[in-house]
Amino acid sequence: MVKAIIAPSILSADFANLGCECHRMFDCRSDWIHIDVMDGHFVPNITMGPPIISSLRKEIPKGNKDGSSPSFFDCHMMVSNPAQWVPEIAKAGGDQYTFHYEATENPLELVKLIKANGMKAACAIKPGTPVDVLFPLAEYLDMALIMTVEPGFGGQKFMANMMPKVEELRLKYPTLNIQVDGGLGRDTIPAAAKAGANVIVAGTSVFKAQDAAEMILFLRSQVDQNLKEKGLLNDINYYCT
């Protein structure tokens, strides 16, 4: 059983007020905060790194294990040497470390390293990478991420042709957290939810919404509806991670 998890991407937040923006998302009942870390090598952009994560963790301390104080930091590592940054992100306060399959030659060893450092482990694939590379890893992962845009920049158009990857993963691994990232909003969430995605990264559509809480509720309701139809919905507690 899985549940809807909404993870607003702070790449679309007001960087001058980042702590307040994170609090705003959790106040609007987001489950996670999605933190995009880019090194300018794996992707052609540079964003935040461990110092900013550490500062945000001071502003938003780790919550209770029962989820009553949501504070989950979902760190998407778009970096060329993901193993290098595992200890740093763990020390900074990351909860989950998502590396790119394309950036490592030994993904299973990297998964073990991530978990040894006290974080959940997730693996992402770019649009051009076949989904079957995830199959040997799936039993060791806490989450798989199917990119629905080319990684590196926010505001791109959702790639609906990635949905067969989500469908195949959901069919093979019904209880795995499956995340989609890129171009998710009111018009595109139905396709992602129908395919079986349960972890939704949304940037512009949430942070720039007139009513962020309403948008998060809408995204959640779409996922809930489809998970229920598939007999996979776990709705005991939205905030358990």
Distance set, CA 147 to CA 17, 68, 109, 219, 224 (Å):
27, 30, 22, 18, 21
Q: Is 9 annotated to bind ligand?
A: yes
Q: Is 203 annotated to bind ligand?
A: yes
| DSSP H helices in the chain | 18-27, 50-59, 82-92, 107-116, 163-172, 189-195, 204-207, 212-229
Specify the 3-state DSSP secondary structure of 147.
Answer: strand
Q: Is 153 annotated to bind ligand?
A: yes
Tokens of 105: 């030659």
| Torsions phi, psi for 150 (to 5 deg) | -70, 130
Q: Is 41 annotated to bind ligand?
A: no
Tokens of 86: 């595992």
Q: Is 49 annotated to bind ligand?
A: no
Catalytic residue positions? 36, 181
Q: Is 152 annotated to bind ligand?
A: yes
Q: Is 94 annotated to bind ligand?
A: no
Q: Is 76 annotated to bind ligand?
A: yes
Q: Distance between CA atoms of 241 and 234, rounded to whole angstroms?
A: 12
Q: Is 23 annotated to bind ligand?
A: no
Specify the 3-state DSSP secondary structure of 74.
Answer: strand
Q: Which residues are annotated as a binding site?
A: 9, 34, 36, 76, 152-155, 181, 183, 203-204
Q: Which residues are annotated as a binding site for a divalent metal cation?
A: 34, 36, 76, 181
Q: Which residues are annotated as a binding site for substrate?
A: 9, 76, 152-155, 183, 203-204
